Amino acid sequence: MSQVILPILAACLLSLSFSSFNLWLFAWFGFVPLLLSLEKKSFLQSFIIGYLCGIIFWSLTIYWLIHVTLLGQVILILYLAVYFGVFACAVYLSRSLPRGVFLFFVPSTWVLLEYVRSYLFTGFPWAQVGFSQYRNLPVIQIADITGSWGVSFSVVLFNVVFYLALRKRLKAKIFLIYACILFLCLTYGFYSLNYKTSRHSDKELLKVSVVQGNIPQDLKWDKEAASGILNSYIELTKSAARDNPGLIIWPEASVPALWTEDMPDAQFNQVFSLAAQLKINLLVGAVSRSGQAYFNSALFINNIGKPQKTYNKLHLVPFGEYVPFKNTFPFLQTIAPIGDIEPGKEHTIFGQPADFSVLICFEDLFPELSREFIKKGARFLVNITNDAWYKEGSAPYQHFAASVFRAVENRVYLVRAANTGISGFIDPFGRLSSIVRDAAGKEIFVKGYSSQNICLAQARRTFYNRYGDFFIILCLLLDSCVIIFLLRKR
């Protein structure tokens, strides 16, 4: 009976850490029931138990995907659960390892599996264990060295220590090693939040406003609703302009019209006139067309009402903006019948009113994009998105967590404008401020705007921004050495 109950318990604890209730503490114990359930199991039994845990976890975590595609959701869950199964097999193989090696091999393997999942088949980096800690500020500060991978490692490492302690296999030497690691991580975290914060407080400032239109997904492309949608954004922008910002940001695909540079739609002319009238720089989301190609774009309009520059989204959502492998497997088109969006080709830097770059939709889940924008000179990042597809639930919070890590990894402000929320500001240490809320404190599916001064980053770059995923290489070296050891032993 425990073979079923324990993996289900593990899946529930881990999934709850990604809920909208800020239950990040559950992740620090969530793997323990799974590790207990794998004791004295065969290789095949381990895979089945891990796979069951994965199915339950992903079903509870991405339940909201059913609002977009039921068949796609089922296929995705069955695929993602494989990583839990492989992890369980790795635990099985590590039984004969010395406890000190086991302590690091298990979290290292989990991190490598998260990394593979984030890039294989275009990648699905959603719900990394580290992301569950986005409100746990002292713990996530190491992300400017290790990226989010280091935080995932820390959480799984604690689970292993707790498991060994439960089974009375935790030697004093092993506990001392872990205690030193925990002490160093937390010391760095508190040091960053106190000393480093003061170094970021005297930088050049820019006031930015974000607008949250709260447009229902079923109305966004309704031609009869287009005028009302645009008027709603115009009124919100006029209200935000009273704060005298240097830049006002609208969400992804906020203008309900197709942008073509040679023949702009009348609705875009209204937006241009608005920018000129208010003497405000605007950044708006739009679907654009160049020749026969369509793009998911961010359009910058200067304070005299002239469109200046466009960024076309680089990393597209599979089955959301295009259907991968549809020429090889035509049946995939039936999973989510959509028109194809083309990927952009350039890491665009917008130069007014300060150098910045835009991440559209789930591009904030891919750390290499943010790193490249900062390397090219961006002094802050913007994420424009539309999570209205997923209705009310935990999806907006799970998505928002990734933005927090991109800010911390690069030590820059990240400004977020989401159609239905969460919209607001994330400082270089992951602290949230000026989140758009209604009078009752609700953050999603509410209409509003928010303004704040942000500090513009200087030329200094973080270790992670310079050297990228070196932590993954360390994990790979560790696992490779362990595998060679096991093979030689056999």
* Predicted pLDDT at 200: 59
What's the DSSP call for residue 456?
P
Residue in 311, 368, 316 with CA at minimum distance from that of residue 341: 316
> Tokens in use for 360?
């559209």
| Beta-strand runs (E) in 69-172 | none
Residues 128 and 230 in one domain: no
Residue in 177, 158, 147, 164 with CA at minimum distance from that of residue 475: 147
CATH number for the domain that contains residue 268: 3.60.110.10
What φ, ψ does residue 469 adopt, rounded to 5°?
A: -85, 50
Alpha carbons 291 and 188: distance in angstroms, whole number: 51
Alpha carbons 487 and 93: distance in angstroms, whole number: 10
Residue in 104, 155, 103 with CA at minimum distance from that of residue 128: 155
Residue in 401, 366, 373 with CA at minimum distance from that of residue 387: 401
On whether the CB atoms of residues 336 and 320 are closer than 8 A, the answer is yes
Residues 478 and 435 in one domain: no
181: in domain: yes
Residues 66 and 195 in one domain: yes
DSSP 261-324: SSS--HHHHHHHHHHHHHT--EEEEEEEEETTEEEEEEEEE-TTS-EEEEEE-SSPPBTTTB-T
Alpha carbons 113 and 35: distance in angstroms, whole number: 17
SS3 of residue 258 by DSSP: strand
Neighbours of 447 (CB within 10 A): 16
On whether the CB atoms of residues 296 and 313 are closer than 8 A, the answer is yes
166: in domain: yes
Domain count within the chain: 2
Alpha carbons 396 and 290: distance in angstroms, whole number: 31
Residues 122 and 256 in one domain: no
Q: Which amino acid is at 475?
A: C
Alpha carbons 10 and 29: distance in angstroms, whole number: 8
Angle at 183 between CA 181 and CA 186, to 5 degrees: 105
Residues 21 and 150 in one domain: yes
| 94 exposure class (CB count in 10 Å sphere: 0-12, 13-18, 19+) | middle
Angle at 265 between CA 262 and CA 269, to 5 degrees: 95
Residues 168 and 184 in one domain: yes
* Predicted pLDDT at 319: 65
Q: Which amino acid is at 232?
A: S
On whether the CB atoms of residues 129 and 139 are closer than 8 A, the answer is no
Q: Which residues are catalytic?
A: 252, 313, 361
Residue in 183, 100, 134, 107 with CA at minimum distance from that of residue 429: 134
> Tokens in use for 393?
């639930």
* Predicted pLDDT at 336: 47
Alpha carbons 86 and 239: distance in angstroms, whole number: 53
User: Distances in Å between the alpha carbon of 150 and those of 30, 91, 459, 469?
Assistant: 18, 20, 24, 10
464: in domain: no
* Predicted pLDDT at 459: 72
Diameter over CA atoms, the chain: 76
284: β partners: 299
* 146-197 residue pLDDT tens: 999 999 999 999 999 999 999 988 888 889 999 999 999 999 999 999 976 6
Residues 189 and 228 in one domain: no
Residues 180 and 232 in one domain: no
Question: 336-361 in b/e burial notation, b at 16+ Cβ within 10 A?
Answer: beeeebbebeeebbbebbbbbbbbbb
Residue in 184, 100, 198 with CA at minimum distance from that of residue 146: 184
416: β partners: 383, 424
Q: For residue 317, give its domain range.
A: 204-459
Residues 431 and 483 in one domain: no
pLDDT tens for the chain, 490 residues long, are: 667 899 999 999 999 999 988 899 999 999 999 999 999 999 999 999 999 999 999 999 999 999 888 888 999 999 999 999 999 999 999 988 999 999 999 999 999 999 999 999 889 999 999 999 999 999 999 999 999 999 999 999 999 999 999 998 888 888 999 999 999 999 999 999 997 666 655 578 999 999 999 999 888 888 888 899 999 999 999 999 999 999 999 999 999 998 987 767 788 999 999 999 999 999 999 999 988 889 999 999 999 999 999 999 998 887 666 666 555 555 455 544 455 788 999 999 999 899 999 999 999 999 999 999 999 999 999 999 999 989 899 999 999 999 999 999 999 999 999 999 899 999 999 999 999 999 999 999 999 999 999 999 887 899 999 999 999 999 999 999 999 988 887 6
Residues 142 and 240 in one domain: no
Neighbours of 479 (CB within 10 A): 18
Residues 126 and 226 in one domain: no
Q: What is the CA radius of gyration of the chain?
A: 23
8: in domain: yes
> Tokens in use for 26?
């559950």
User: Distances in Å between the alpha carbon of 128 and those of 155, 440, 476?
Assistant: 11, 30, 18
Alpha carbons 235 and 216: distance in angstroms, whole number: 18
Alpha carbons 365 and 72: distance in angstroms, whole number: 20
465: in domain: no
Residues 44 and 176 in one domain: yes
* Predicted pLDDT at 339: 58
Residue in 197, 152, 147, 111 with CA at minimum distance from that of residue 466: 147
* Predicted pLDDT at 198: 61
On whether the CB atoms of residues 247 and 278 are closer than 8 A, the answer is no
